[in-house]
Amino acid sequence: MIQRLFEKCLLRPQDLFPSREELEVVGVFNPGVIDSGGEVVIMARVSEQTRERRSGQVALPRWDIEGGGIVVDWVGEDEIRPIDPRVVEMRETGQTRLTFTSHIRLLRSRDGRILDSFEGLRFDPDNRYEEFGVEDPRITRIGQTYYITYVAVSRHGAATALASTTDFETFERHGVIFPPENKDVVLFPEKIGGEYVALHRPNPRTHFSSPEIWLARTPDFVHWGKHEVLHGGSSLWDSGRIGAGCPPIRVPEGWLEIYHGNRRVPGGVGPYAAGALLLDPENPGVILRRSPEPLLVPEADFEREGFVRDVVFPTGIVERGETLLIYYGAADTAVGVVELARDEILGSL
Amino acid sequence: MIQRLFEKCLLRPQDLFPSREELEVVGVFNPGVIDSGGEVVIMARVSEQTRERRSGQVALPRWDIEGGGIVVDWVGEDEIRPIDPRVVEMRETGQTRLTFTSHIRLLRSRDGRILDSFEGLRFDPDNRYEEFGVEDPRITRIGQTYYITYVAVSRHGAATALASTTDFETFERHGVIFPPENKDVVLFPEKIGGEYVALHRPNPRTHFSSPEIWLARTPDFVHWGKHEVLHGGSSLWDSGRIGAGCPPIRVPEGWLEIYHGNRRVPGGVGPYAAGALLLDPENPGVILRRSPEPLLVPEADFEREGFVRDVVFPTGIVERGETLLIYYGAADTAVGVVELARDEILGSL
């Protein structure tokens, strides 16, 4: 493990007003974070459930894309099979539904350690691919534009879509860039070998392997190809579920990628932890070094207890000279920030 | 149903020599087929198993990519859980393995109804994404080049890769174009709205819906984007598993796509059948008309009995004036061909 130079629970559900009176915020987590000219912008996923409870029934909220608001499908408890606190399966069709819906909230901080305001612009679902919510944004600045990858969830599956902005006030949507199921997409901040590069995490139905981190390339952010496996099949702390975390940053030795992983254990997986990959500066499809053990594991109460226990899920990064501020979802409930020394990370790989 | 003007079982496992003495051909099916200047070229998937049987053990063949040949992992029957005749799950890891491995065999026919030779060139696995085999080719001629999409199966999942040729003697590989899990990829034969177009069939792990047919666009065949859902969520004969079948052909009213589907029934799906979509000529993301009932269902013995019962799986098409020769995999075992009148298909939609 590595020394936490600074650590804090930055944001909890009770810090935020719900988007509507009839909802309650149950999670604010997995934030996209970027240093935007002296100010840190945080795009946090906000999960909401209905405030109302009905005996013998379960509320399945979704966005009414035509109407523009949230509607709730109330179904009998006997019509569903609970999978985990977030997910149910409809008994008749076998289809998955979520017990919450997510939007993205924009918050700002001057120093990245204290929030200046708890209210901010919303980035809401607005098309058929976002009916069950928008989740887990990651932000990369490329030139003068900020690109935001995010998970678009709907009856068509969990895909990754792209949006861009220059001011974090208006956003342009570029549609689905990785079809279902694909999450944990992060963009590199510059062209490498003549093309822009992303890490992505396809999740196939047929279980030939545990999920793996893949790499893809694009000339234009819209069309993606040259898919190759980057990392998977580990026998270490990340032998279970893995995925890219923070957008990669350039360090003298190559590209530093902070990612999440957990260990495969009998009957499931262990706690979600964070580790690092050092990728070849010229060809990020090549791993030069990687964490033999995690950099961060769930330790604090807010990392251990919540909607999903024992989760540290890194999604945002801000460079501060010799140190890095790493932002992460904690227990699918809160946002944490931790400060680590860059050289200590690199030395641990 | 529609009149079968001609029908034939074109190719059976016993028609082919195995690729090696120690193997036996258990299936030749799901062929890519194209009219190549007066000759019909057939690229058929050939599935092989080990000839040897060992008491209490199961043979799991795979390609040794470095060595270039097939190797067999013998595992104890108690180490696996059989899923279906083709698929087992390793008890310890939960990972999927296949009981066979597939390559692609090239065959030729002058009239598309009789094979002139049963021996031909092999298109074999040759990289890490093809370790468990290459499957289900589809061929589209674009300009002077034939593009072949095929399923590349490995420990990394079932992805779709692209190859091209001008002579069906040497092939250029273009890598993975749709990451796992994605099958049933067919290319349109020309640019539409300034880009080339494909249908694809992502298969997400999380079951928000049954598999759907999606559409994507590309400037260069390598980079794909603008993903959108084309067809899914049917309540008709194709309410279960669907996927594109033959490459689309241009008809006066638009694009005619022959695809496969089956009905969702309690506990599973019904027989695999074939139907048609008529897509807008200018925007193939729009369905103009579709089959209210299947065009073809398993009827003949060779369509009903085999490695997987009750399967008609269309994958190739040849235009013959007013009629169409449609080639299909039958019961995951044989290749069938059927002749249908184009106007009768269009009239049935």
Q: How far, in Å, CA of B181 to CA of B314, rounded?
A: 20
* Cβ contact, residue pair B209, A155, below 8 Å: yes
Burial of A329 (0-12, 13-18, 19+ CB in 10 A): buried
Query: Nearest C-alpha of chain B: how many angstroms from A129?
Result: 9
Average pLDDT over residues B252-281: 95
Interface confidence, given as ipTM, is 0.95
Angstrom CA distances, A88 to A128, A300, B132, B208, B269, stand at: 20, 29, 34, 10, 22
* pLDDT value, residue B210: 83
Find the residue in B nearest to A159 (Cα): B204
Among B94, B155, B203, beta carbon nearest to A205: B203
B68: pLDDT confidence band, cut at 50, 70 and 90? confident
pLDDT at B309 over 80: yes
- The string of DSSP codes covering B25-51 is EEEEEEEEEEE-SSSEEEEEEEEEEES
In this prediction, residues A195-206 reach a mean pLDDT of 96
Give the 3-state secondary structure of residue B129: helix
In this predicted structure, the answer to whether residue B171 has a pLDDT above a threshold of 90 is: yes
Model confidence over A9-47: pLDDT tens digits? 999 999 999 999 999 999 999 999 999 988 999 999 999
Using the beta-carbon criterion (under 8 Å), do A203 and B200 form an inter-chain contact?
A: no
pLDDT confidence bin for A140, thresholds 50/70/90: very high
Res B94: pLDDT: 85
Q: Is A54 on the interface with B (CB under 8 A)?
A: no
Statement: residue B1 has pLDDT above 80: no
Which domains are present in chain A? 6-347 (2.115.10.20)
pLDDT of residue A207: 85
Nearest CA in chain B to A175: B226
pLDDT at A275: 98
**CA of A326 vs chain B CAs: smallest distance (Å):** 29
Q: What pLDDT is attached to residue B110?
A: 94
Q: How confident is the model at residue B67 (pLDDT cuts 50, 70, 90)?
A: confident
Residue B342 dihedral angles phi and psi, to the nearest 5°: -55, -45
Distance CA B339, CA B197 (A): 27
- In angstroms, what separates the C-alpha of A264 from chain B's closest C-alpha? 9
> How close is the nearest chain B Cα to the Cα of A32, in Å?
23
Judged against a pLDDT cut of 80, whether residue A317 lies above it is answered with: yes
- Whether residue A1 has pLDDT greater than 80: no
- Highest-pLDDT range among A202-206, A263-267, B207-211, B339-343: B339-343
**Cα–Cα distance between A322 and B12 in angstroms, integer?**
67
Please report residues of B whose CB lies closer than 8 A to that of A94.
207
